[in-house]
Amino acid sequence: MLATIRQLAAERLARTISDRRRLHANPELSFSEKETAAFVKARLDELGIAWEAISDTGVAAVLRGGMPSDRVVALRADMDALPITELNDVEFASRNKGVMHACGHDAHTASLLATAAILQSLKVRWAGTVKLIFQPGEEKLPGGASLMIRDGVLTKPAPAAIIGQHVMPSLPAGKIAVRGGKCMASMDEITVRVSGKGGHGAMPQQLIDPVVIAAELIIALQQVISRNNNPVTPGVLSFGRVIADGAINVIPDTVMMQGTFRTVDEEWRYAAHGQMKRMACRIAAAMGGHCEFDVVTGYPSLVNDERLAGEVADAAAAYLGKENVEQAELFMIAEDFAYYSRAVPACFYFLGTGNAEKGIDAPLHSPRFAIDEAALEPSSGLMAWLALKQLGN
């Protein structure tokens, strides 16, 4: 079976690349993936695989093998793009101004369609059920995964496990990286509004300067990470947006800051919210100002099932070669696949798509992000192989 899957993945590579380029040229933002979903449905129709629309722009399909078995495994791909203007000079560059597949979701979707084709062509030779999940809105809260779970994607039939993959430009094409246990961080959005008393910049003694208070908060809040958190538990607090809408000689009345807080410990995560708010409000008050501290709770941390991750690594070693399966680092990036990992045993692994010799090394979310499309051959075949191994074939 392994050799046959490899052959089918190779034979379909041109079609997989074509599908990926079609998706790349026509990106759609989170929860607006109507044309993308229509494309997926059309491809599934061509393959003779039944599907249903779910959570508006999501698609779920069920593929049953030719032999009886109660075992069910789910495979997931996300479909949305990012609000980024593409700078790549390729014929299949984004045609939608200001929107780009800069996170590889076009590759995820094209790869899973190829996996579906491989499994469909071999269905008389395997037992069990594969649920295919084409998910919207990974890049935007509340996350398409949470909505699809709410709408029943993990029921009828209920999978015993779910597997997903994500492109990784820092990893050479042909390799994957997998990690059991804590794998990716939670993500929360923080907005801080500091109020003072504005006025002329030359007369600070008459004012309550919210800019100085905000600067103090940016530095002081890092102490929650460095002094209140257990040092063995990773945590990141970053403020990437600070708006003090004054002028060179005008102190504004208010300053707004926005940032992100990430960790891999859910208990500490919520404790930190309270500690940061108390610290910010007390410092602002001590300096004569006022602080509003708001947290929008985002995705939870992603935890790979240890047993499943081990089985994925072993199966991948058989398919790709042991030298091409690496231990993944703990990433502080967030992923809404985490919701699946909280519901059923899950494994999310990283697919190498980089190629330094070809100049394919731009990071995720970059306007020059690209993939080595040769990676689409092992990605589609490996996913089919992993599904069949989980079904006991």
The CATH number assigned to the domain holding 251 equals 3.30.70.360
For residues 312 and 345, state if they share a domain. yes
Rg (CA), the chain: 24
Pick the closest to residue 332 from 169, 184, 190 (CA basis): 184
For residues 47 and 176, state if they share a domain. yes
Q: Specify the 3-state DSSP secondary structure of 311.
A: helix
Domain count, the chain: 2
pLDDT band at 5 (very low <50, low <70, confident <90, very high): very high
Pick the closest to residue 136 from 9, 289, 269, 30 (CA basis): 30
Cβ neighbors of 392 (< 8 A, separation 6 or more) are: 69, 71, 127, 128
pLDDT at site 3: 95
Range of the domain at 265: 188-297
In the chain, the amino acid numbered 295 is V
Tokens of 277: 């708010």
pLDDT band at 179 (very low <50, low <70, confident <90, very high): very high
Name the pairing type of β-strands 181-184 and 302-304.
antiparallel
For residues 208 and 249, state if they share a domain. yes
How far, in Å, CA of 219 to CA of 280, rounded? 11
For residues 106 and 57, state if they share a domain. yes
pLDDT band at 263 (very low <50, low <70, confident <90, very high): very high
For residues 271 and 332, state if they share a domain. no
For residues 265 and 165, state if they share a domain. no
Boundary of a domain, candidates 297, 312, 343: 297
Boundary of a domain, candidates 297, 327, 346: 297
Boundary of a domain, candidates 264, 297, 330: 297
pLDDT per residue as tens digits for the range 334-388? 999 999 999 999 999 999 999 999 999 999 999 999 999 999 999 999 999 999 9
- Higher per-residue confidence, 68 vs 37: 37
For residues 132 and 218, state if they share a domain. no
pLDDT at site 141: 95
For residues 236 and 127, state if they share a domain. no
pLDDT at site 93: 97
pLDDT per residue as tens digits for the range 279-301? 999 999 999 999 999 999 999 99
For residues 199 and 333, state if they share a domain. no
Separation in Å, CA 338 to CA 28, 169, 266, 342, 351: 22, 21, 12, 6, 17
pLDDT band at 85 (very low <50, low <70, confident <90, very high): very high
Angle subtended at Cα 132 by Cα 81 and Cα 300, rounded to the nearest 5 degrees = 60
Cβ neighbors of 103 (< 8 A, separation 6 or more) are: 81, 82, 139, 167, 364, 365, 369
Exposed / middle / buried, residue 313 (Cβ in 10 Å: 0-12, 13-18, 19+): buried
Tokens of 192: 């801080």
- What CATH number has the domain bearing residue 384? 3.40.630.10
For residues 253 and 317, state if they share a domain. no
How far, in Å, CA of 84 to CA of 189, rounded? 20
Residues 163-184 have a mean pLDDT of 97
Cβ neighbors of 332 (< 8 A, separation 6 or more) are: 184, 185, 234, 236, 262
How far, in Å, CA of 338 to CA of 303, rounded? 7
pLDDT per residue as tens digits for the range 208-220? 999 999 999 999 9
For residues 125 and 194, state if they share a domain. no
For residues 320 and 243, state if they share a domain. no
Q: Which helix (H) or strand (E) holds 269?
A: helix 266-286
Cis ω before 157 (30° cut-off from 0): yes
pLDDT per residue as tens digits for the range 101-158? 999 999 999 999 999 999 999 999 999 999 999 999 999 999 999 999 999 999 999 9
DSSP states of 98-118 = T-B--SSHHHHHHHHHHHHHH
In the DSSP assignment, the letter for residue 252 is -
pLDDT at site 257: 98
Tokens of 217: 């908060």
C-beta of residue 392 within 8 angstroms of C-beta of residue 112: no
